[in-house]
């Protein structure tokens, strides 16, 4: 009989990464270490399948050579060659306390700026005790949504309010599926099977993307438009639908405001103009319009591809207007994918936003480097950064500007991460964060409707601590000089925080037992306790906009940005190529960028004709450059790439490079939400010889 190794075990977990799918995982653990990561069938949306990046990268993220295992103090210069020495947690907390306290005395609490983004997406690690701490401290409030999805969120909210749309799983009922600017193979993997199954049932698939992505290969119609012209395409199709009398006039009359002014703007774009401006075939746009006319129910899924340019908010709004003007709401399979309203989370109780002083002005995370380098006399100077759940050097536009800011000598930087990232190398003190396999948390999603819970699968590695415990310890130290931190809210356990995070009055939770959210037992928040659908847009919920109707003209956006209607602005060209930096199939944003084999896609993809015209060949090293920076990449010649565009996936780490593509990305902002314009980067290339 073979001896059974009782120290080997399978433990349930949830993938915490910034990805739509939030997969359930099975983690094989041996002697307290992760041996293997597989998908688990617990989550009905992800059904046991996970992406290769997590299957091959998570073990090394947790146990690899870059794992941070104890608090560190920097002893050399900041930057790629920084050196650190281990210190105790007590010394780390005390150093942070002393620096923050003296800064508060000299400059006020707004001189402390938390810089966080979507590292772990768990509700506890992603925003609970940390938020309470910074809110109570009076630190600067920072809006990180301009980095990603803020434009789409504001576009959606301007039209529909907070009322949730449909879950992606509903595509099984759709007869027309439009995937707009979403490379689902890289960042929404499990949607592929749903769409392919729907196609087998007769659904038509339209993919709108400048690149022939893998899902585009299966599309009935692929509209390979020029980046930034989405609003032109959608407006022209809207005008055509009006011309051919394919609007749902009854739905518009009863449920929509701004119809007349919307069409007055849309009718400025003929199909012929759209063909020219979007660089599409006229007959393809006609076909797209005919699909909207002839096929119901129709549903649309927008990714972040279309939002990342100066016309981004307008593009998303005009795309989302197509199911509106054709009345595709109500019946199963029709509508707009958006599950944000499905989840019974109580972020107020979790984050205690009531602690925020009314006088606080919120900063855009994109503006932090400029405010560090060129202090604004009207704003408190930034003297301390607390970087956590974020790798700004790898993620932000204007990489050189970010690095220049992090090098500022009078800036005290605390870094907190699982891994010694490019950004951590600029920190004065580094706090080792536990990975999501080392603590309990709960997870919502943005691709499906399942609320999930996890517990620690392994003990903390080294001296790493969960984010919640790190901020408990900081609060404990600050309680010695500031009585607010003596409040019991700063001692709340993770177990209690998980209960606090769930709103028992939400329709998804009513009549469920208090402990119904268990490990390996997700709750489908699209259903109530009796299995009935929870209310969503036009299924029990009307748009929660100021007018109570869908707003094609938004007074809110008019007031904020003079963007009552979507608009198209022709962009001046300074360089011949538009560089697109999409999601990678090797990394999730910058996670795993340090791991061997996870940066093999850091190449520059070019259309064969563009390569031929420049006498460039596959595999050749080229400089890609603009007025901001220049970097060397190897070319990959691919007919999937549209002529005039270049592709290099996001999330690479510097490693031995002086730059990544983020150095080329400009600082200008989108038409709404102050959003970053990653896909609005103009560049040129030349051979490296």
CB of 660 to ligand SF4, least distance (A): 20
CB of 599 to ligand SF4, least distance (A): 16
CA distance 534 to 511: 13
CB atoms within 10 A of CB 283: 10
CB of 55 to ligand SF4, least distance (A): 8
Q: If you search the block for the tokens 């970010």, which residue do you land on?
A: 402
Contact 53, 586 (CB under 8 A): yes
CA distance 568 to 292: 22
Nearer CB in complex with ligand SF4: 22/620: 22
Nearer CB in complex with ligand SF4: 82/186: 186
CA distance 203 to 17: 31
CB of 508 to ligand SF4, least distance (A): 21
CB of 51 to ligand SF4, least distance (A): 3
Nearer CB in complex with ligand SF4: 19/411: 19
CB of 15 to ligand SF4, least distance (A): 3
CB of 397 to ligand SF4, least distance (A): 23
Nearer CB in complex with ligand SF4: 23/418: 23
Nearer CB in complex with ligand SF4: 39/165: 39
CA distance 17 to 61: 12
Contact 194, 171 (CB under 8 A): yes
CB of 86 to ligand SF4, least distance (A): 31
* 339 secondary structure, DSSP code: -
Nearer CB in complex with ligand SF4: 41/362: 41
Nearer CB in complex with ligand SF4: 41/609: 41
CB of 586 to ligand SF4, least distance (A): 11
Pairing assessment for the beta strands 176-180 and 362-364 based on DSSP bridges: unpaired
Nearer CB in complex with ligand SF4: 524/680: 524
Nearer CB in complex with ligand SF4: 163/588: 588
Exposed, middle or buried, 254 (CB in 10 Å: 0-12/13-18/19+)? exposed
Nearer CB in complex with ligand SF4: 189/215: 189
Contact 637, 617 (CB under 8 A): yes
Contacts of 12 by beta carbon, 8 Å cutoff, 6+ apart: 24, 25, 26, 27, 40, 42, 454, 455, 457, 519, 520
- Site residues (vs ligand SF4, CB under 6 A): 15, 17, 19, 21-23, 50-51, 53-54, 189, 588
Give the Å distances, CA to CA, from 587 to 20, 57, 400: 14, 9, 22
CA distance 284 to 278: 12
Sign of CA dihedral 489, 494, 496, 501: positive
Residue 209 corresponds to which tokens in the numbers above? 């993307």
CB of 476 to ligand SF4, least distance (A): 34
Q: Strand, coil or helix: what is 128?
A: coil
CA distance 343 to 164: 10
Exposed, middle or buried, 184 (CB in 10 Å: 0-12/13-18/19+)? buried
Which of 355-383 are b and which e, b meaning 16 or more Cβ less than 10 Å from the residue's Cβ?
Answer: bbeeeeeebbbbbbbebbeeeeeeebbbb
* 638 secondary structure, DSSP code: -
Residue 219 corresponds to which tokens in the numbers above? 């599309």
Nearer CB in complex with ligand SF4: 36/668: 36
CB of 644 to ligand SF4, least distance (A): 31
Nearer CB in complex with ligand SF4: 39/432: 39
Nearer CB in complex with ligand SF4: 50/96: 50
CB of 441 to ligand SF4, least distance (A): 14
DSSP for 172-216? GG-SEEEEES--HHHH-TTHHHHHHHHHHTT-EEEEE-SS--TTG
């Amino acid at each position: 009989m073979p001896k059974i190794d009782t120290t080997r075990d399978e433990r349930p977990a949830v993938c915490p990464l910034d990805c739509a799918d939030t997969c359930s995982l099975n983690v094989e653990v041996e002697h307290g270490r992760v041996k293997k990561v597989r998908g688990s069938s617990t989550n009905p949306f992800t059904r046991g399948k996970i992406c290769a990046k997590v299957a091959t990268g998570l073990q090394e993220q947790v146990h690899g050579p870059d794992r941070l295992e104890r608090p560190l103090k920097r002893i050399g210069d900041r930057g790629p060659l920084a050196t650190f020495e281990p210190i105790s947690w007590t010394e780390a907390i005390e150093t942070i306390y002393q620096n923050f306290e003296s800064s508060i005395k000299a400059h006020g609490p707004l001189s402390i700026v938390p810089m966080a983004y979507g590292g772990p997406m768990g509700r506890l690690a992603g925003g609970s005790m940390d938020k309470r701490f910074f809110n109570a401290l009076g630190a600067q409030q920072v809006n990180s949504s301009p980095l990603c999805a803020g434009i789409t969120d504001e576009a959606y909210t301007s039209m529909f309010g907070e009322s949730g749309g449909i879950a992606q799983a509903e595509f099984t009922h759709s007869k027309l599926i439009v995937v707009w600017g979403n490379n689902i193979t890289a960042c929404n993997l499990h949607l592929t099977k749903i769409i392919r199954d729907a196609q087998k049932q007769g659904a038509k698939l339209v993919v709108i993307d400048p690149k022939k992505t893998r899902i585009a290969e299966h599309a009935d119609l692929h509209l390979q438009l020029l980046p930034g012209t989405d609003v032109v395409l959608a407006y022209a199709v809207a005008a055509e639908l009006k011309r051919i009398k394919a609007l749902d006039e009854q739905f518009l009359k009863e449920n929509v405001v701004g119809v007349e002014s919307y069409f007055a703007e849309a009718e400025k774009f003929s199909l012929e103009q759209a063909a020219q401006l979007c660089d599409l075939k006229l007959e393809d746009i006609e076909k797209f319009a005919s699909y909207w006319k002839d096929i119901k129910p129709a549903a649309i899924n927008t990714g972040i591809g279309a939002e990342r340019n100066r016309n981004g908010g307008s593009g998303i709004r005009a795309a989302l207007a197509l199911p509106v003007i054709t009345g595709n709401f109500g019946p199963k399979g029709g509508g707009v994918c958006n599950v944000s309203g499905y989840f019974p989370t109580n972020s107020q109780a979790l984050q205690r936003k009531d602690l925020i002083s009314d006088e606080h002005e919120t900063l855009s995370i994109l503006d932090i480097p400029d405010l560090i380098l060129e202090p604004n006399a009207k704003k408190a100077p930034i003297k301390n950064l607390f970087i956590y759940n974020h790798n700004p050097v790898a993620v932000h536009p204007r990489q050189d500007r970010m690095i220049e800011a992090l090098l500022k000598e009078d800036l005290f930087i605390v870094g907190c991460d699982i891994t010694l990232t490019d950004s951590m190398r600029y920190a004065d003190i580094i706090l080792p964060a536990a990975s999501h396999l080392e603590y309990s948390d709960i997870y919502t999603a943005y691709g499906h409707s399942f609320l999930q819970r996890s517990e620690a699968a392994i003990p903390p590695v080294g001296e790493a601590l969960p984010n919640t415990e790190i901020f408990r310890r900081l609060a404990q130290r600050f309680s010695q000089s500031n009585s607010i931190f003596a409040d019991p809210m700063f001692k709340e356990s993770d177990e209690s925080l998980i209960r606090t995070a769930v709103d028992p009055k939400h329709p998804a939770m009513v009549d469920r037992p208090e402990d119904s959210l268990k490990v390996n037992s997700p709750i489908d928040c699209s259903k109530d306790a009796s299995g009935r659908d929870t209310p969503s847009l036009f299924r029990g919920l009307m748009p929660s906009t100021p007018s109570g109707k869908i707003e094609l003209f938004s007074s809110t956006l008019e007031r904020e940005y003079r963007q009552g209607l979507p608009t198209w602005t022709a962009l001046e060209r300074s360089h011949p190529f538009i560089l697109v930096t999409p999601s990678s199939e090797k990394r999730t944003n910058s996670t795993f960028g340090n791991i061997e084999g996870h940066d093999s896609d850091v190449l520059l993809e070019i259309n064969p004709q563009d390569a031929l015209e420049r006498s460039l060949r596959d595999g050749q090293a080229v400089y890609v450059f603009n007025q901001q920076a220049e970097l060397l990449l190897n070319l990959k010649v691919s007919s999937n790439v549209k002529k005039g565009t270049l592709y290099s996936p996001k999330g690479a780490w510097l490693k031995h490079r002086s730059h990544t593509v983020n150095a080329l990305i400009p600082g200008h902002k989108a038409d709404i939400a102050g959003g970053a314009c990653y896909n609005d980067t103009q560049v040129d290339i030349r051979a490296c010889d």
